[in-house]
Structures are given as structure tokens and as C-alpha cells.
Structure 1
Amino acid sequence: MSAEDIKAMPNEKGQIENGENYEYKTEAMEAELTEHNMTVMQAVKAYPMACFWAFVMSFTIIMESYDVFLIGNFIALPEFAQKFGKLDTASVPPAYFIEPKWQSALQMAGQLGALIGVFLAGPLTSRIGYRWATLFGLLLMNATIFIMFFANSLPVFFVAQLLEGLPWGIFIANAPAYCSEIVPLRLRAPATQVLQMFWAIGSIIVGAVTFVYNPRLDEKAYKIPIALQWLFPTPLAILMFCAPESPWWLVRKGRLEEATHSVARLGRKSRLSNPGDTVALMRRVIDLEKSVSAPTYAELFRGTDLRRTLIVCAVYAGQNLAGNLIANQAVYFFEQAGVSTNLAFALGLITSALQMIFVMLSWGLTTHFGRRTLYLWGTGVNVALLVALGIAGSVGKSTASSLAQASLGLIVSVLFTFAAAPVSWCIIAETSAIRLRPLTTGIGRATYYIIEIPCIFLGSFMLNPTGGNLGGKCGYVWGATGFICWIMAYFFLPEMKGRSYRELDIMFKRRVPAREFDKTDIKVEEDE
């Protein structure tokens, strides 16, 4: 459809519109058609700085990933266990270990803090914007690392993790929303999926650092990995101070000139990138969602927004129920599967490196096959592998059984980041209404932590030799929960590939069934 066709197009009442409303709606339709007609490479060339700033914002995820995997590795670190643990005289030879209750407490403390942080992130971001909210989180992160560095007991470590979780909540709620809002339609998938890559990078850094320092027999074995956290917040704070605010947030606040300037900073001048038309597109979508009141958490559970909220919450919950906890506890899992400490750390590092590679491979798959297809296939394959892991753990202790469990644990961890994990970020970013996005991503991530905290206790109990001592048989448990996630996704997860935010708003308002989304045609002039 050409610009001339759009200008001659009547509105939904059969009338030709005049004045400002006609002008901005015409520009909005032109911008939407341009985004639909772009290829991925054209979008990258038209919006190079949008890609850069999405990359910068995604980098904040490294800090949560680093610390989550750091605590998981500390539990398997001999010097940490000797300093803060108890001696297990029943083992041969006797060895120090962290009690299951403290294993679980240390791993869930950060998540508990992040749970509080995500509830703060929504109202904070809605009020002051993504940029300033992220800056606040980065400065807070710098301060909380001090407590962890000087901690001399497990209770102090617990408090330090709890406080570090507060800025994690801000980062994890804001990053997918910001990344999806600053890039054009064709780049939404890779811009949000890169978050999973940074999660893997965080685990690679931790794996490399702890692999190097785990042989040390002094407190530097865990002090230096803690101190390295200070490498990230200050440089990121400087970059975020220079970053443009999300133009969608600025349009929501009625600051149209600033929004136009922000779009201009994100793209380059070309026929594919007209800042004024892009802002008109945003105005059109936000006008569809307009309300007389400020966004509130109560709105997430009313009308068609309830469905959108439930999808986001279910996808976030599914990240903990389909094999993710094996990935987060990879080193400890490998130890309990029967391999040596050094080999366990090496396998953990290999797992993280493979995860990063497979996340990058998933970008093309999501763009080609779509979100729903990749999520269903990825989760289904992981369920089958988890059941196989359970079988390997049930055949008795032997070298072959240990190697099979370690291999399957590695494959499950890697394949999780090939399909279900990265595509989840894309689904989360696209599902929510623009007006409620900071709140929706916040409540969704809160669901993640609410599910993760009991799962951490369960996972630690199942693996610990003084607890359930299940080893690979935990695959049966995670296979069962993963299968439930697959069933829920099959019936309720819509395909949002190639859809503009206007089209998604209309389809949710029309209550289009999930399995009909990809077959539904929405015309460019439709607003209802």
C-alpha cells in the first residue's frame, strides 16, 4: 500500500478525516507499513543506535546472572564450605559442606530482594522513566556489594544477597521492556533475546573466575569473585546517563518533541526511518489504550489485560519449571552426579559458553519460525531429556551412570537457552499493553521469583547428599513440571511474530483465541 492510498482511505465510519487527527493517523499508518516491509538487516541499518542502547541496557542482566551463579558456585567451593560450613564425617574422605537450609537461604535471598525490587520498579519507572530508574539501580548496586564483600558469616551473606536483589528487580523488570520499545518491529526478537545471552555471559565470567580461584586455600578464593562485581555498575551508569529515554514512555507522558528527538537518536536519517512518523505510530497505539487514570497494578487483572498478564506470568514461571534450576546449579549438580570438583567447575564453564552460543543461534530461529512454535518445541524436547536424566539416575551408581547424568544435565541446560529461555524474553516484552508495560513486566518477574524461591529449596533438597540425595532422579520432578508448562503453552500462548503493538492490542481486545492469532488479518486502518 502506498502513501497515496493511505491518504485516500476513509476511516472506520466511511469518512475522510481532516485536520491534525488525519495527519498523524496517516503518518502512523505509513510508519507501520514501513516497519512491516523492513527486513532485519534494513532495520539494523535504519536503527543502529537503537541496537547499541538495547545492548547497553541488556548488560545490566550480567549483574544478576553473575551473582546468582556465584552463590551457586560458592556452595561447591571447598574454601567457602570450610569457612562457613560443617564437616561431614560420614563421607569418604570427610568433607565440609554447606547445610541444605543455608544453601537454599543463600540462593533465595537475592530472589527475595529482587521480588521486592520488581514491585518498586513498575511505579518508579512509570513515574521517572527507564533511564533514571536504571541509574538509581546501578548506584544502589555499587553500595550493596560492599556488604557482601565484608560479610563474615552466613547470616550477613544472606542480608547482603537480599539487598543486592533490590537493584536486580529494577534491571530485570526494565531491560526487556526498554529493549522492545526502542527498536522497530523486526528487531524486537533479537533485542530482547540478547538478555538471555548476557545471562549466559554472566555465568561464563563466574565460571572462569571460580574455576581459577577454587584451588586456593584462603579467603581470596571467594573474596576476589565478589570484588569483581564492582567492574560493572559504574561504567554502565555513565552509559545509561547518556542513553535516550524510551520514546514510548515519552509519548505516554505527552512529551512529543522529546520523543521525536529520542527516535532521531535511535535511528539514522533515511527513507526507512522518519522520527515524526514513528512518533505518530506511537501516539496512535497509546490513544487506543488511553485511560483517564494513571496505570495501577489493579488494571493488570481486569478485562483483556488479565489475559495478557496471565500469559506473561505463566511464561516467567515456566523458566523455573522446565530445567532452568539445573542450569543455575550446574556445578553442584555435576558434583552430585559423581564427577570431581575440578571437572564439575570445568563442565559448568563449558555449559555457560555453549549457552551463549546457542542463544545467538536462537535469534534466527525465532525470527523464522515464531515465538509459539519455538517455545513448544524447545519445552517438549527438554521434557523428554529431563525424563531421560531421571532414568539415568535410576540405574544405580557407576561411572557410566555418572557420565550419562552429567552429559544430560549439560544438554538440558544448553537446550533450555536455545529455545524456551530466549524466546520467553520476546514473549514477555510483546504481550503487555504499552501503557501497562512497566507494571506487567514487574508483576511477571515477581511471579518468576515467587515460583523460584520454593523451587530453590526443593532443588537444593533433592540434590544435597544429606537431603533427598536424588541426583539425576530430579529429572522426573522437573520433567513433570515442564510438561505442565508445555500443556499450558499449547492452549494459551499466541503467536505474536511480525505483529505491531496496534495489531496485538486489537487482537487481545477482540479476544482472538491463541491458536488463531497467526491466521487473523488486521487491516492497517483498523483501530478497534
Structure 2
Amino acid sequence: MSTGIKAKDEVHGGEQVDAVYPEVLVNPDLMGDAVDGENREHEMGVWEAVKSHPWACLWAFIMCFTIVMESFDMFLSGNFVALPAFQRRYGVQVEGSGWTIPTRWQSALFQSGQCGAFIGVFLAGPITNLLGYRWTTMLALILMNATIFISFFADSLTVLTVGQALEGVPWGLFIANSPAYASEIVPLALRGACTATLQMSWSIGSIIVAGATYGYNQRDDQWSWRIPLALQWIFPTPLLVLIFLAPESPWWLVRHGRKEEALRSIERLGEKSGKNSQQTLAMMERTVEIEAQIGGTPSLLDLIKGTDLRRTIITCLMYASQNFAGNLIANQATFFFEQAGISTNKSFQLNLINSCLSFVANACSWFLTAWFGRRTIYLWGTATNVVLLFILGICASVPTSNAINYAQACLGIIISFVFAGTLGPISYTIISETSSVRLRALSTGVGRAAYYVAEIPMIYLASQMLNPTGWNLAGKCGYVWGSTACVCWGMAFFFLPELKHRSYRESDILFNRKVPARKFKSTIIDVKDNE
């Protein structure tokens, strides 16, 4: 069955569409291949998909592992403010609390990287559309290697803050590209588990930071924070080599008219059978053509036009909501434990335990994504954390004692565990599935920008709530985060659709038909529909 098609360019509203395959919608042979390819995706179970696409799983994990660098630095900044040597070098003496980093500098250290990443996510979409996922990520890794020097040699909080801001730019490129790439290269059955590995990369980064800062927290010199900073150089160069060897997303290649390369990429990812790879290619061509008929060359303005506006809002809400359900307690876990009344050394030990348990929760999320829907996991995970956060606030409100202090610490760990097993990883799955293929690189970038817009003021609020030089609320911050988590649950209940087991074509049709969020799961889409 021949699929020899030349890529054509069409003009829509004065803009050139990258790759249009009108033949796939009118040629019965190609259409039959596309339908068979999509049916095979729906019929493939999780274990069958793993066995047939081991390389796709590996490349998805490697791309997601780039997030370990943002995680590493985020958690490292949170641990710096709890390091005694760092506090004495850059902090102020507070009566009753000893040396502490002033709130404004805590906020600056936490926020500077996010400000840089905010710039990075907006650069990610246009650069990725031009160069592809691989080359964009490789450029970001080279930039990451260079910017680490500034943080490592910083001799003041000002220079350290600037270094963190510059490191944030490649973070933005990583976080925008990783979920999109992972979702595009694996079969439908593995999309949830592979995109959920993003959260696992966060946990791996936090484990390394927790181990390093625990090992060096009793040092009395500058190496207690410079050695952990130097550990960042472990990641970029090996990842650069691996991603150079990785295949480009076949969806990106199809959209750019590079059909032969797309076919080779499909075969490298696991489709060794010539017939199966041709069917997969035809399925991709079909979806790309349907989307190309709706709009021309992707632009940021397309994200707020027509049905794509709804998809953009869902993506932004999912990303932003990660900051409102207790996640910021995990990001500042060591400092939170100290403010809950735990000794410094014990706080670093608890932080290491917390990071390891989060890793276990991430592994559990793989099974949850196979058993339950995205909407179900998100709603139940958020509801659980709402209850736990209010209990944390109540514990912090009663007269303090050693038992109460440890109860607050344990609740902080449980809240982090629930987040790492449910709404944290499933958010990345939802984000990668919600956007259209045509706008995915732009959509994931703008969605992450919404995350930073929400996170930057929330970091300041979190620091203000925990710091002795601020409001000094300690565990009472549970009341605040519990209330914001309630709002997240309410918005998800009304606006979050269920996209599990839906192909990208089916998702496009559901959004184009303006199906209500709670009816996505029950709506039947005919396999021959080309809306």
C-alpha cells in the first residue's frame, strides 16, 4: 500500500501551513491506514506498549530527566536558607531565632530562577517550532553548563541571585519541551505514565539536594553550599550526548513535511513492522491535516482563538494550580521543619526522607494513571490535600509541644507524598494531552508561564508566612494553602475534561464540538470522523 506523498504548502489567511497532506483525507487507502493505526493504539494495553516500544519509553524518560536540573536548583535554594554556614555568611541575627536570611533575600533566591524560566518558556515555543525538540533542548543544555559558573563563583547574594535568574532560562526550555516530546513519542497507553515521570525527575533532584545538603550542613565554611552547587555540572553534558542520539518527535517532523525522517523516527521508537509504521504515519498525517485546515502557521495569538482558548485556559489552570495545593511546603521542606520546631540536623534528615517518599509516590502514580482517569486522580488528590492542610493548620494552632512539632512535620511529609503521587504528576499528563498538536510547543510554554506567574508571588507569600522576620505562621500556613486548594478543586470539577484513552484526533473533535468537561468521557467519537 503506497503512502508516497509529497508535502504541500497551503496558504490560510496569508500564512503558510508547514505541512499539509490533503491526500490522506481523500485517498481511501491512506485513510484506511490512518484508521487502522488509531484503532491499534486504542487496542494496545500498557504492558504490550512497553514491550513493543521500550526505546520510546527510554527517550521519553531521558527528555523528562532534564527537569532534574530545575528541581535540583529549586530545592537547593530552599535548603540554602537553612544551612548554618550560609546563614552566618549572608544572614542577620534575629533574637530568639539566631542567624536567618532576611525574607526579601529568601524570596529573591527562590524567585530569580523562576523569573528566568518565565523568559525561557516564551522562547521555547518559537525556537522549538523552528529547530525541533532535540536541538532546542541541546542548546538549553549548553547554556545551562555556562550559567552554572556564575552561581558557583558568586561571592554575594546579589551575584547568586543573578546566576539563578540566568540558569532559569534553560529551565524554561526544558519544562516546556519535555511533556510535549514525551507525549508525542509513546503510544496512547503509555502517555500517562511517561509524562508523569516529569514529577519523578523533580523527586530525583530533591533527593540529590537533600543528600548533599544533609552531608554538608555541618561544615562551617563556604563549601557547605558551593559543593552542592557544583553538583549541577553532573547532568548537562551526559544529557547533551544522549539527546543528540535521540530521535526527533515524528509528529513535529510530519508537521514540517519531513515524511521520510518521520517514518525513520517511528521505526526507531518501536514500530519495526513496515505495515505498522506506515499506519502510524498515516494516523499522524490525518491529525496534522485536520488541524492545518483550522489554522495556518502556529503563533501565540492562536492560543486565544476559537476552541484553542479553552484548551489554553485548562493548560494554564493545571500548571498554576500546582502552587496552591501545598507544593510550596515541599519546596521549602527543610526550612518548614525548622520553623515547626525540629532541630537543624533532624530537619535535614526529614527532608531526605521526604524526598525519598516523594520518589516512591511518583512510582505509584504510574499505576494510578493506568487504573484511573486523569480527572479522577486530580480531584481526589486535591481533596485529600485540602483535608490534610486544614489538619496541619489545626495542629499548629494548639499549644506547642514536642509531639505537636513532629505531628506538623509528619503532616508536611504526607502532604508532599500525596502531591507527588496524584495531582503533581497527573498535571503534566493533562497538560500534554490538552493542547492541539499544531500548538503544543507554544501551549506547554505559555502554560508553564502561568505556573511562574502564580508561583513568583506565592513564593514570596510562603517565605513571608514561614520566616521569623515575616509573619512566622509555621504550620498555620495550612489554613492558607487548604483554602487555595479548595478553589483548585472547584475549578477542576467544572472545567477539567477526561482525556484518558483519547487520541489527539478525538481530543480535537471533542473540543471543536464544545463538549462540556464532565461529558468528555461518555461522548462517542466515530473513528471515521474528520472534523
Q: Following the alignment from structure 1 to structure 2, what is the Cα–Cα distance between the partners of residues 400 and 41?
A: 45
Instruction: Give the secondary-structure state (helix, strand or coil) at the position aligned to 2:93.
Output: strand
Equivalent in the alignment of 2:516: 513
For residue 450 of structure 2, the aligned residue among 442, 447, 451 is 447
Instruction: Give the secondary-structure state (helix, strand or coil) at the position aligned to 2:530.
Output: coil
For residue 103 of structure 2, the aligned residue among 93, 100, 105 is 100
Report if the CA contact (8 A) 1:259-1:279 is conserved.
yes
For residue 246 of structure 1, the aligned residue among 241, 246, 249 is 249
Q: Following the alignment from structure 1 to structure 2, what is the Cα–Cα distance between the partners of residues 412 and 48?
A: 33
Instruction: Give the secondary-structure state (helix, strand or coil) at the position aligned to 1:274.
Output: helix
Instruction: Give the secondary-structure state (helix, strand or coil) at the position aligned to 2:221.
Output: coil
Q: 1:453-508 deviations in whole A, cap 9, x for unaligned?
A: 00000000000011100010000000000000000000010111111111100000
Equivalent in the alignment of 2:355: 352
Equivalent in the alignment of 2:415: 412
Q: 1:141-181 deviations in whole A, cap 9, x for unaligned?
A: 00000000000000001100000000000000000000000
Moved more, 331-340 or 292-301: 292-301
Pair 1:265-2:268 in alignment: yes
**Amino acid in the other structure paired with 1:275:** S
Equivalent in the alignment of 1:83: 89
Equivalent in the alignment of 2:473: 470
Equivalent in the alignment of 1:498: 501
Q: Following the alignment from structure 1 to structure 2, what is the Cα–Cα distance between the partners of residues 390 and 195?
A: 30
For residue 29 of structure 1, the aligned residue among 35, 38, 50 is 35
Q: Following the alignment from structure 1 to structure 2, what is the Cα–Cα distance between the partners of residues 55 and 420?
A: 19
Deviation, structure 1 residue 396: 2.3
Q: Following the alignment from structure 1 to structure 2, what is the Cα–Cα distance between the partners of residues 527 and 512?
A: 16
For residue 80 of structure 2, the aligned residue among 74, 77, 86 is 74
Pair 1:125-2:128 in alignment: yes
Q: 1:357-388 deviations in whole A, cap 9, x for unaligned?
A: 11111111122111000100000000010000
**Amino acid in the other structure paired with 2:39:** L
For residue 235 of structure 2, the aligned residue among 232, 235, 250 is 232
Report if the CA contact (8 A) 2:24-2:285 is conserved.
no
Report if the CA contact (8 A) 1:316-1:447 is conserved.
yes
**Amino acid in the other structure paired with 1:377:** W
Gaps of at least 5 residues in structure 2 are 2-22
Q: RMSD value over aligned CA atoms? A: 1.4
After TM superposition, the runs of 4+ consecutive aligned structure 1 residues lying more than 6 A away are 17-20
Deviation, structure 1 residue 293: 2.8
Deviation, structure 1 residue 225: 0.4
**Amino acid in the other structure paired with 2:159:** V
**Amino acid in the other structure paired with 1:284:** R
**Amino acid in the other structure paired with 1:82:** R
- Fraction of identical pairs, as percent: 58
Report if the CA contact (8 A) 1:367-1:497 is conserved.
no
Q: Following the alignment from structure 1 to structure 2, what is the Cα–Cα distance between the partners of residues 367 and 297?
A: 33
Report if the CA contact (8 A) 2:25-2:286 is conserved.
no
Q: Could you tell me the TM-score, scaled by structure 2's length?
A: 0.94
Instruction: Give the secondary-structure state (helix, strand or coil) at the position aligned to 1:216.
Output: coil
Instruction: Check 1:85–1:524 CA distance in 2 against 1; reply closer, same or farther (3 A cut).
Output: same
For residue 67 of structure 2, the aligned residue among 61, 64, 68 is 61
Q: Following the alignment from structure 1 to structure 2, what is the Cα–Cα distance between the partners of residues 364 and 248?
A: 27
Q: 1:82-119 deviations in whole A, cap 9, x for unaligned?
A: 1111122x126xx2110000000100000000000000
Report if the CA contact (8 A) 1:48-1:268 is conserved.
no
**Amino acid in the other structure paired with 2:47:** M
Pair 1:141-2:144 in alignment: yes
> Aligned runs of 1:335-350 on 2, under 5 Å?
335-350=338-353
Number of aligned residue pairs: 509
Q: 1:283-330 deviations in whole A, cap 9, x for unaligned?
A: 111111005631111110111000000000000011000111001011
Equivalent in the alignment of 1:367: 370
Equivalent in the alignment of 1:280: 282
Report if the CA contact (8 A) 1:46-1:270 is conserved.
no
Pair 1:180-2:186 in alignment: no
Q: 1:6-54 deviations in whole A, cap 9, x for unaligned?
A: xxxxxxxxxxx99972222111100111111111111111111101100
Equivalent in the alignment of 1:488: 491
Equivalent in the alignment of 2:53: 47
Instruction: Give the secondary-structure state (helix, strand or coil) at the position aligned to 1:332.
Output: helix
Gaps of at least 5 residues in structure 1 are 4-16
Pair 1:151-2:154 in alignment: yes
Q: Following the alignment from structure 1 to structure 2, what is the Cα–Cα distance between the partners of residues 316 and 450?
A: 10
Equivalent in the alignment of 2:20: none
Q: Could you tell me the TM-score, scaled by structure 1's length?
A: 0.95
Q: 1:42-76 deviations in whole A, cap 9, x for unaligned?
A: 11111111011001101101000000000000010
